[in-house]
Amino acid sequence: MDRQKLIQTAIDALPNAYVPYSRFHVAAALLCRDGTVYTGINIENAAYTPTVCAERSAFFRAVNEGKREFEAIVICGGKDGILTDYCAPCGVCRQVMREFCDPGTFKVILAKSPEEYREFTLEELLPLGFGPENLL
C-alpha cells in the first residue's frame, strides 16, 4: 500500500476521534504485513486516565483480530482536527509498538497531509527499548 493512501485513510478517520476534553483529534492507520489496515482514534474519558490514544486503539483492534505482524503506522493529529504540526506518539504507544514490531524495520509515519510527512523507524523513536526478547 502506498504512503499517500495510508495517510489519507488516517486523515479520513480523524472526525471519529472522541475528544470532548482536549479537542485534540488524533487518528492512526496501521498497516499489517498481510496488507490489511486498521484505523484507530483517541477516545477520551471524563475520568481522564482511561483515555486511549489513537495508536493503541489501532493496535488493539488489529491484535483482537489475530494480527501479529505489522509494517507501518501513520499518525496524524491536531487541535480541532487541524493538522498544523506533526503528532508524535506518546511513550506508552511507542512501548506498545515495541511489543509487536521489529524496531529496526517498523515505520512510524507522521503526517500533516498525504504529501507532507516524516518517516522514522521505531528504533529511532524508542532507542534501547525493552521488548519481549528481553524476557526469554
- Give me the residues that bind ligand THU (CB under 6 A), please: 19, 22, 24, 26, 42, 44, 51, 53-55, 87, 89-90, 93
Angle at which helices 54-64 and 91-100 cross, to 10°: 20
Does residue 94 contact residue 125 with C-beta atoms inside 8 Å? yes
Which residues make Cβ contacts (< 8 Å) with residue 49, sequence separation at least 6? none
Q: What is the CA radius of gyration of the chain?
A: 14
Cβ 17 to ligand THU, closest distance in Å?
A: 8
Alpha helices for 20-72 (secondary structure H) = 54-64
Closest CB to ligand THU among residues 37, 87? 87
Nearer to ligand THU, 78 or 133 (CB): 78
Which is closer to ligand THU, CB of 35 or CB of 127? 127
Query: Is 65 one of the catalytic residues?
Result: no
Q: How far is the CB of 80 from ligand THU (least distance, A)?
A: 12
The residues carrying an active-site annotation are: 55
